[in-house]
Amino acid sequence: MSVVTSGRYTFLNYNLVFFIFLQLGLHSVEGVWPLPQSITSSPERYPLNPQAFYFTYGSQSAAQEGCSVLDEAFKRYFSLIFPDYSSGYGFLRFSVDKPFTVQVSVGRNDCDSYPDEDSSEQYTLSVSAGQAYLKAETVWGALRGLETFSQLVYQEDFGSYYVNKTEIEDFPRFQFRGILLDTSRHYLPVQAILKTLDAMAFSKFNVFHWHIVDDPSFPYQSRTFPDLSAKGAFHPMTHIYTQLDVRRVISYARMRGIRVLPEFDSPGHTQSWGKGQSDLLTPCYSGSSPSGTFGPVNPILPSTYKFMATLFKEVSSVFPDSYIHLGGDEVNFSCWKSNPDVQAFMLKMGFGADFTKLEAYYMENIVNITAALNRTSIVWQDVFDYHERIPKDTVLHIWKGVPASYEAELRAITKAGYRVLLAAPWYINHISYGQDWRNYYTVQPLNFSGTEEQKKLVIGGEVCMWGEYVDATNLTPRLWPRASAAAERLWSDEKQTSDVDKAFPRLKDFRCELLRRGIQAEPLFVGHCKHEYQGV
């Protein structure tokens, strides 16, 4: 076996020198991850004393005390900024520092709303003596600014906290910056999802794409069709998401400015649905008799669409986001082909032997159902590849291929005038030896030939963590900090962040910050953090 191609170890002396250099505690404001659009700072710095540190609302702010999103965020960020203070350690000292106030002003009182596709996340942050001004159009922008502020604060060896004089203007490059978790191939306890939402906020991700059901299991407990999880989950009591669990995830995400995008993938990837809903899946035939196995959703029965309409009505009432992901990928036609009723339907519809037409027929019906519910559909690229008769406001989701092929797909989809989301280069469940975060970092989402208008149709990107080999035991170290590499690509200016070697020390510091915040992020390479992960 030639597992070992290079040497067992090759000494990289400069790395050790480098660690020692870092240990001197040189702090730079480039520590903010992802890098803000514009940042200037000076060596002038101000001490922060947790006993004299305040968040306040600006007098002109549209949101004032009582704004749930910001009130909660102030509490959260206080503990993140002063981790020692909340653990009750190290602050019995006499120095009487001047108070420091972070004054937050927002232009709109959207405290009780949900973040959505057009929510502004722009903010400005100005840190000077005794005062920081954080201004944003929306509370979601204010959340991003609070995250940035928390990353500007650093702690010296003797425990004191400082922040440098800084001016920041910031906004995301892409409006959709998502992470997909797959809770069908393995069940992820709600705690694991909540922890992921925490870490997402630290990297300014704003969409949790919940691939909630698939072939292996159906853990979503439906109000209207309780049998789906009672019979389709790995276990009907312990391996399900109750309505309460789902609400908890949505509200936890909202507090962090994160949208929850549910995916109910069909007509393929639905084996688990069939267990709790008879006649939904296509019976496969072996010769002239049913073989006892089932294929994709049966597209020829009116009952199918009635069921889907009812299910999606429920989904749209449970999930507030304006998008619903409908899947539509990897449909295996062999079962449809084997079924005589499906064959008869093909004939009747004039589809000939082209089963992609049958799939198109099905997807059109489903997209119309969600459109009637005022929801924008997202579908995997397969749907575009098979046919183009889909409503113009549908978003296509690219998941296949190497750069050359996904760039061609970007070109084709945007040329056809559809909005598009890129996931192909960020299939983070595909692990390999070494620093693969560099591959995620150097992706160029707009590197395809097309007009300015076409480029504007790329609404963002998504990191996918498919679940074949992932559950709560390894999710967090597999996701972080590798996903953070994609986060910077999606948030920051590409020209300012094109050098992967410059990103390395910043991401390394950020990974240590994640550890400090209790996120079990794995190492990028040899090295150490001041506060190592202890939770083994």
Partner 1 sequence: MLKFVSLLLALSCCQGLQHNNIDDYVEAEPVFQASKYGSLWPLPQKVQISEVSFKLTSASFRIVDAKASSAGPSCSLLQSAYRRYYEYMFGSAKKQWGSKNNRRSDPSDLTELQVWITSPDSECDGYPSVTSDESYELTVNQPVAVLKAPKVWGALHGLETFSQLVFEDEYGAKSINATIINDFPRFQHRGILLDNFLNYFLSWFIHTGNNGDEQNQCFPLAHSQRAAYHPYTHVYTPADVKMVIEFARLRGIRVVPEFDTPGHTQSWGKGQKDLLTPCYSGSKPSGSFGPVNPILNTTYDFMAKFFTEISTVFPDGYIHLGGDEVDFTCWKSNPDIQKFMEQQHFGEDYSKLESFYIQKLLDIVASTKKGYLVWQEVFDNGVKLKPDTVVHVWIGGRSDKEMSNVTAAGYTTILSAPWYLDYISYGQDWQKYYKVEPLNFEGTDEQKKLVIGGEACLWGEYVDATNLTPRLWPRASAVAERLWSAKNVTDIDDAFNRLSLHRCRMVERGIPAEPLFSSYCPREYKGV
Give the residue numbers marked as catalytic.
Answer: 330
Applying CB under 8 A, does 320 fall inside the site for partner 1?
A: no
439 HSE (CA, 13 A, CB side): 15
Applying CB under 8 A, does 435 fall inside the site for partner 1?
A: yes
C-alpha 182: how far from chain center: 12
Applying CB under 8 A, does 195 fall inside the site for partner 1?
A: yes
CB closer to partner 1 out of 202 and 312: 202
Omega cis (within 30) before 296: no
CB closer to partner 1 out of 13 and 374: 13
Applying CB under 8 A, does 238 fall inside the site for partner 1?
A: yes
Residue among 59, 60, 87, 191 that touches partner 1 (CB under 8 A): 191
- Choose one: 162-170, 248-256, 440-448, 525-533; the region binding partner 1 (CB under 8 A): 525-533
Applying CB under 8 A, does 25 fall inside the site for partner 1?
A: no
Applying CB under 8 A, does 478 fall inside the site for partner 1?
A: yes
CA dist., res. 112 & res. 220, Å (int): 26
CB closer to partner 1 out of 303 and 473: 473
Residue among 297, 300, 363, 515 that touches partner 1 (CB under 8 A): 515
SS (H, E, C) 378-413: EEECHHHHHCCCCCCCCEEEECCCCHHHHHHHHHHH
CB of 452 to partner 1, least distance (A): 30
* Tokens 């978003």 found at: 395
Q: How far apart are the first and last CA of the chain?
A: 32
**Structural contact between residues 215 and 294, judged by C-beta atoms closer than 8 angstroms:** no
CB of 183 to partner 1, least distance (A): 11
CA dist., res. 152 & res. 216, Å (int): 44
CB closer to partner 1 out of 192 and 373: 192
Applying CB under 8 A, does 54 fall inside the site for partner 1?
A: no
Give which of 365, 389, 459 is closest to 177, Cα–Cα. 459
CA distances, 135 to each of 33, 106, 122, 220, 283 (Å): 19, 6, 9, 39, 58
Residue among 41, 120, 221, 429 that touches partner 1 (CB under 8 A): 429
CB of 196 to partner 1, least distance (A): 9
* Tokens 């076996």 found at: 1
Residue among 87, 392, 452, 468 that touches partner 1 (CB under 8 A): 468
Applying CB under 8 A, does 84 fall inside the site for partner 1?
A: no
**Structural contact between residues 283 and 339, judged by C-beta atoms closer than 8 angstroms:** yes
CA dist., res. 299 & res. 536, Å (int): 49
Residue 221 is encoded by which pair of tokens? 């407990």
Applying CB under 8 A, does 476 fall inside the site for partner 1?
A: yes
The phi, psi pair for 382, rounded to 5°, reads -50, -40
- Choose one: 79-87, 415-423, 435-443, 456-464; the region binding partner 1 (CB under 8 A): 435-443
SS (H, E, C) 73-106: HHHHHHHHHCHHHHCCCCCCCCCCCCCEEEEEEE
CA dist., res. 500 & res. 441, Å (int): 7
**Structural contact between residues 511 and 521, judged by C-beta atoms closer than 8 angstroms:** yes
CB closer to partner 1 out of 8 and 392: 8
The phi, psi pair for 198, rounded to 5°, reads -55, -55
Binders in 437-456 for partner 1, by CB under 8 A: 439
**Structural contact between residues 436 and 393, judged by C-beta atoms closer than 8 angstroms:** no
CB closer to partner 1 out of 452 and 468: 468
- Choose one: 16-24, 29-37, 202-210, 451-459; the region binding partner 1 (CB under 8 A): 16-24
* Residue length of the chain: 536
Binders in 204-233 for partner 1, by CB under 8 A: 216-217
Residue among 76, 173, 185, 325 that touches partner 1 (CB under 8 A): 185
Applying CB under 8 A, does 473 fall inside the site for partner 1?
A: yes
CA dist., res. 248 & res. 254, Å (int): 10
- Choose one: 189-197, 201-209, 285-293, 413-421; the region binding partner 1 (CB under 8 A): 189-197
Applying CB under 8 A, does 470 fall inside the site for partner 1?
A: yes
CB of 407 to partner 1, least distance (A): 14
**Structural contact between residues 488 and 34, judged by C-beta atoms closer than 8 angstroms:** yes
CB of 176 to partner 1, least distance (A): 24
Applying CB under 8 A, does 432 fall inside the site for partner 1?
A: yes
CB of 42 to partner 1, least distance (A): 29
- Choose one: 64-72, 287-295, 358-366, 431-439; the region binding partner 1 (CB under 8 A): 431-439
Binders in 360-419 for partner 1, by CB under 8 A: 400-402
- Where does this chain bind partner 1 (CB under 8 A)? 1-13, 16, 19-20, 23, 185-187, 189, 191-192, 195, 216-217, 234-235, 238-239, 400-402, 429-436, 439, 467-478, 515, 520-528, 530, 532-536
